[in-house]
Amino acid sequence: MKKTVLITGCSTGIGAAAARTFAENGWNVAATMRNPKDGEALKALPGVEVLALDVTDEASVNAAVARTIEAFGAIDVLVNNAGYGTVGPFEAASQAIIARQFDTNVYGVFNTTRAVLPSMRARRSGVIINIASVGGLTTFPLFSLYHATKFAIVGFSESLGFELAPLGIQVKMLAPGGVSTDFAGRSMVPTFEGDGGVYASTVATVTASFEGFRGGYSSSESLGKAIFAAATDGTKQTRYIVGDDAVAMLEARKGMTDEQYVAVINGRFGLQG
């Protein structure tokens, strides 16, 4: 019997790549996104149904989950991929920007997870895969809000796994490093206007440093394959670090004290601390 996966944030990038990978491997795929018109290419794939789902809207989430179960009979795997990022000084962030960041990256994951749990519990089977980030395990300047949400997802995933394991449901977390998607463009929104005001020097220095780091990132296709592998490897592994840059970064931090790490990051980004 064909298995079914529901994936959020499938309009582009990692979500679209994951949808293609599952479909190519014979799965039923509920490829969800806020605007289904963005999923025309996915509709052409066998076993794929493109559905409207806004992770910040409980009614939308519940409707998409119900439709998936109606169409395919069950949800074997949930992939919480939808993500939104902010960059810039925390002080400059409006309450609306902060709320949107947490509504999507944290409460959105809560909404979809809660929606699939009754059916997974009834079958005593299921895998929930949360896409966090290496930014949920370590930090960089100007990403305080984004880091806060991804650290939350790492903690949520690990703790949730304890309570769901006795019910036959696994929780896994993927932490990718840099990914060659449009995340840093379309999905990364500044907290500030103009040049950053009193933080202008920091904004300029950090932005220039990041431009120099581009290249060598994982492709969205490789992330799609990593998600599929995590969903199907049959192991009790709960944490997957994906991308050479992420592995190297975390290995390096493991060998440092917190004070040493702060000094390294300040030096790397040309900041004074």
pLDDT number for residue 183: 42
The pLDDT, as a whole number, for residue 211 is 73
Average pLDDT over residues 240-244: 95
Lowest mean pLDDT among 54-63, 117-126, 260-269: 260-269
pLDDT digit string (tens) for 158-185? Answer: 999 999 999 999 999 999 998 875 444 4
- The tens digit of pLDDT for each residue in 22-71 reads 999 999 999 999 999 999 999 999 999 999 999 999 999 999 999 999 99
Rounded average pLDDT over 145-153 = 98
Identify any residues that bridge with 51 across adjacent strands, giving them in sequence order: 32
Task: Give the pLDDT confidence score for residue 179 in this predicted structure.
Answer: 82
Q: Which residues contact 224 (CB under 8 A, 6 or more apart)?
A: 14, 16, 17, 18, 19, 20, 21
Q: What pLDDT does residue 182 have?
A: 47
Give the model confidence (pLDDT) of 123-143 as tens digits.
Answer: 999 999 999 999 999 999 999
Query: Residues 182-224: pLDDT tens digits?
Result: 444 445 789 999 889 999 999 999 988 877 666 568 899 999 9
The confidence score (pLDDT) of residue 212 equals: 65
pLDDT score of 273 more than 80: no
Q: Give the whole-angstrom CA distance, residue 76 versus residue 29.
A: 10
For residue 26, with 0-12 CB atoms within 10 Å meaning exposed, 13-18 middle and 19 or more buried, which class applies? exposed
5 alpha carbon, distance to own chain's centre = 16
CATH 3.40.50.720 fits 4-268, yes or no: yes
Provide the annotated active-site residues.
Answer: 146
- Does the pLDDT value for residue 78 go beyond 80? yes
At 17 the pLDDT is: 97
- Residue 79 in this model has a pLDDT that exceeds 70: yes
- Cα separation, 249 vs 118, in Å, equals 38
DSSP secondary structure of 48-91: EEEEE--TT-HHHHHHHHHHHHHHHS--SEEEE----EEES-GG
Overall average pLDDT of the 72-81 stretch: 98
Give the pLDDT score at 232: 98
Tell me the pLDDT tens digit for each residue of 88-114.
999 999 999 999 999 999 999 999 999
Closest CA to 105 of 131, 129, 77: 131
